[in-house]
A and B are shown apart, each in its own frame.
Chain A
Amino acid sequence: GENVEQHPSTLSVQEGDSAVIKCTYSDSASNYFPWYKQELGKGPQLIIDIRSNVGEKKDQRIAVTLNKTAKHFSLHITETQPEDSAVYFCAAIPMDSSYKLIFGSGTRLLVRP
């Protein structure tokens, strides 16, 4: 079955700097890769997603890149702000999995003012 690994587990950056979180997946048939932001005590919030037929997607300060050959995808946050501090989860949906998400272990991002 699919396995998603996420690094780093914690990341501390200075406000205004960029943050990069990386994930790898094992099932080459996976075709959908969302990223979620979870603030303390709340449910995950979708921030960006990418499908396997696209290499990069950007939404303001957030971008996601996908390398199908290497089976890894990354989240890039530019000009970080203190309100970006949260836990970020990557995920993958293998083909024919009834839309079940396979989550990474999460990255705790701290943006220092």
Chain B
Amino acid sequence: GAVVSQHPSRVICKSGTSVKIECRSLDFQATTMFWYRQFPKQSLMLMATSNEGSKATYEQGVEKDKFLINHASLTLSTLTVTSAHPEDSSFYICSAITGVGETQYFGPGTRLLVL
């Protein structure tokens, strides 16, 4: 149980375009989802916390207009990277908690390359 999926697994886009990444909890309802960014050989950096039906809470230094997060249902959260630039290229990972406890289950990640 507690499976989280992400789509797409990798995406290449041109500079200036927007990219949407989906995060789904497959076998449980996720009260809270998290979005992380990871650079090569580094730890995970929390970008924002997403609660179903409410606005996301962004970490300091993360541009909310740049990284749009929508948590429309208890099984789906989306991250949209708007007007992507090469410096946005990274590995984006989501996680979810079931609401029963604090354990976070991670998705497989999405590798974004902006040309």
Contact = CB atoms under 8 A, between A and B. Distances in A.
Interface of A: 32, 34, 36, 41-46, 49, 89, 93, 98-101, 103-106
Give the 8 A-B residue pairs with the shortest CB-CB distance, closest first: A43-B106, A43-B109, A43-B108, A44-B106, A103-B43, A99-B102, A43-B93, A43-B107
A101 B93 CA distance: 13
Interface residues of B, number: 22
Given A99-B32, A101-B46, A34 B109 contact: no
B25 interface: no
Contacts of A49: 103
Main secondary structure of the interface of A (DSSP, over half): loop
A104 B106 contact: no
B112 interface: no
B44 interface: yes
B74 to A, nearest CB: 16
Contacts of B105: 46
A34 B103 contact: yes
Given A43-B106, A43-B108, A44-B93, A98 B49 contact: yes
